[in-house]
A and B are shown apart, each in its own frame.
Chain A
Amino acid sequence: MNTDVEELLREGMERFTADLQAPAGLTYLVARRRRKRLVLRSVTGGAAALAAGAAALAVAVVPGLGGAGQPAVDAAFVVKNVSSALSAAEPGTIAQMTITTSGSPGGATSAEEWSNGNEWRSVTYSSPGNPLYDEGYAASTGYTLVSYETKTWARQAGIGSPSVGPLGYPAATHGCGPAAGGFSVLFRLGLPGTSTSASSLPTTVATALHTAVSCGSLAVAGRPTVDGTPTIELKSRADSLIPETIWVSPSTYLPVRVVVGSAFSPGVQQTANFTWLPPTAQNLAKLTVPVPAGFREVSLGAAVAPNLKLIPGGSVPRAGAVCSPAASGTPCSFTPASAGGTVSWVAER
């Protein structure tokens, strides 16, 4: 009963305050209120009272909040706050992820990813400064893929939107089965032209977190410091097929870092560090996939195929795909989805 009452109280508090929003320009409002009061006090000869009031302001800063104390948070509460924070961030804030993949047969790769609303972009590098491919989606242009290896690029309307899913697939949904598709609930191993590269979209992360927690697959593991920043650590169960750890900021509840393993390749691990950027013109420009001069436009299939050998972990992340992990180095041909059609992969001999 005790726990029930605590939970009901928590839910009640959540509901009681759900629609509360702080007024915009709070600092301005407060400063204005203060000015009014100061004027009033000077008019009424209250200068002495003001001085006394100021002297009484000896409120100590509380040390260690959100720090070394025993964690009292539960995963559902944290995820609820993370979800709210992501929803609040979504209208304007640009999510930037720096992703490092290690342990894959092709060696370590890194990627940078940005997302804002439905628009996203992901650049995968073979080494710092050397992009392998650059892909993204914008409402005005559709899906764009630039392959630096073959100096080609492709563009196709009607695909790539997170609401539709990559290449005509419905947007990814996640059930409770840890092996649902064999993938992380948070983001997928990068595969240009096929995977949900816009994995850092706030809605995607929020949905995935909700699913993970409702399935009981994440629990609060502690409050460690990540790169000097206090965090709350959410960790998947020990028996999870896909090990995942998420660190969120206890002050903003936005994800700071995510580390995900691979169900197919136990040694493969991806680490994503999040930065949340304001929507300045400079930052918004990062969402556009630039096509370098001299690159040749080809069909999407032709642009995607050369990248298959670059799949981290050597896996093809779709049920029914013909290219198997064992054939990760094998070139595949690719038929992009058309309206009502299907995506297919065929290993070339």
Chain B
Amino acid sequence: MAADRSTAELEQFLGDRADHLLRTAALLAGGREAGEDLLQTAVERLLRRWRRFDGDPEGYLRRTLCNLAIDDRRRAGRWRQKERLLRTDLRQVRDPAGDVDLRDALVRLLVRLPARQRAALVLRFWEQLSDAEAAAVLGCAEGTVRSAVSRGLSRMRELADEWNDTAAMSGREE
């Protein structure tokens, strides 16, 4: 049985890690306000069980963030609608002044991917977890993570190719 943990200990932990977790949450939720809301919900869940909590709080919050993000998207079913708009959006993303570059376009694509695919990419390339660790967070098999990452990256590569082709064409036109 774990000893009671103080709220001060949780505050200390959040003082150290909340910024990073907020960034993770924003990537999972696709926006800063949604990310903040997601993080607060996850922290609330941790807070409820904190006194007797015996484990890695960051791991718990990371998993809760992913579950909440996936559940939210599943319930809303919005991603499918957004996915249909994807190509149009991406054309708008590329502005002639070059204010938005491929990196931003990739992130915009990321937040429009299906929730589980997006979570897999965030866990692998933002949280830098291994396939096994990401699978543990998402509660699925390693193969599922690999597959989701592969599909997500495939979409990213398509975007990058299209981006480079457009850039080359623009160059020729100039």
Q: Which residues of A contact B (CB under 8 A)?
A: 1-2, 4-6, 8-13, 15-17, 20-23, 26-27, 29-31, 33-34, 54, 57, 59-66, 69-74, 77-78, 81, 88, 251-252
Contacts and interface: CB of A to CB of B under 8 A. Distances in A.
Contacts of A22: 14, 18-19, 21-22, 36, 39
B104 A62 contact: no
Given A17-B26, A72-B124, A251-B58, A34 B106 contact: no
A328 to B, nearest CB: 42
9 contacts: A6-B125, A12-B104, A13-B23, A16-B104, A22-B22, A61-B56, A62-B133, A65-B62, A72-B130
Contact of B160 (A5, A27, A251): A5
Interface stretch (B44-52, B72-80, B81-89, B165-173): B44-52
Contacts, number: 157
Contacts of A54: 48
Main secondary structure of the interface of B (DSSP, over half): helix
Given A22-B39, A59-B60, A62-B137, A10 B126 contact: yes
Contacts of B119: none
A65 B137 contact: yes
B94 interface: no
A20 B16 contact: no
Determine the interface band of chain B, counting residues with CB < 8 A from chain A: 35 or more
Interface in B149-168: 153, 156-157, 160-161
Contacts of A21: 19, 22
Contacts of A71: 130
B77 to A, nearest CB: 21
B64 interface: yes
Interface in B13-66: 14, 16-23, 26-27, 32, 35-36, 39-40, 43-45, 47-49, 53-56, 58-60, 62-64
Contacts of A73: 128
B107 A9 contact: yes
Contacts of B124: 72
Contacts of A2: 153, 157
A2 B103 CA distance: 14
Nearest to A10: B125
B132 A70 contact: yes
Contact of A20 (B10, B22, B40): B22
A8 B153 contact: no
